[in-house]
Amino acid sequence: MDERDYRALRDLVAAGGVTVLTGAGMSTASGIPDYRGPDGSRRVQPMQYAEFLASAENRRRYWARSYVGWARFRAAGPNDAHRAVAALQHGGQFEELITQNVDGLHQSAGSRDVIELHGNLNEIVCLNCEERFERGEVHRWISEANPGFTADSEEIRPDGDIVLAAQDFADFRLVRCVTCGSDLLKPDVVFFGGSVAKPLVEQAYAAVESADALLVLGSSLQVMSGLRFVKRAHALGLPVALVTRWPTRGDEWASLRIDSLLQDVLPRLVNDLLQAPPTQPVSL
């Protein structure tokens, strides 16, 4: 990491009024991998929204993978980067926090008023009647419907499911909404091919437009759901700083680009600006 670039970032953050946009790179140190490699290509092929709707067989495949993956996913905790973001928000340097992640780790670290662009895996929605359920409750239904169901996979994905061979879920049973009886239960997150709700987009735009600068952390900006906010900030003449590994789709609009691990940058900012170690939970 170039020291001049770090000092420029430190000065930008010290001035305050920073809106932050985070991506999957925030959570890799928590054991949740990102979607893409150094060249921006996807490491894994996630379930598409249209694919999920197309058939009960596709939903059965998704839920079998997600059921096994959920136990590992929910065991993940916030890392030093999450804690540093929370500390800088409570210290007044960061204002609004927008995330593309669905893991809830920003909130676990103590961040407040998080705009979750892609939803949160902790909530389940019935696409037929719009009834909502807590993830743990639906997980319990699945356990009761599939006693003894186990599958072996070491690979967890950013959306909480895992890789399974077809034979691993041949006997898996879907559960249904207790309100309307539909099997169209889905985590309340935006699948690939789906759209971010318009009110959330407008809320995020407002957060960018009211900021003095935009700081992007751990996002490749390969999808428009995040890139559009970089473009808006640039169009408004706001400084745009990117901190992540590898090139991003938003590099051409950035005024500052640091290719580094977030764990090497954010705790240092906390130490420099708040004189408090980010490795301890934030006191709220």
User: 177 a known binding residue?
Assistant: yes
Opening angle at CA 19, ends 15 and 21, nearest 5: 135
- CA-derived radius of gyration, the chain: 20
Helix, strand or coil, per DSSP, at residue 253:
helix
How far is the C-alpha of 249 from the C-alpha of 45, rounded, in Å? 19
**Is 258 known to sit in a ligand binding site?**
no
Q: Which residues are catalytic?
A: 118
Cα-based angle 66, 67, 69 (whole degrees, multiple of 5): 60
CA distance 273 to 284: 18
Was 68 annotated as part of a binding site? no
Give whole-number Cα distances, 37 to 43, 225, 245, 246, in Å: 6, 19, 10, 8
Judge whether 126 is annotated as a binding position: yes
Binding-site residues: 126, 129, 177, 180
Binding-site residues for Zn(2+): 126, 129, 177, 180
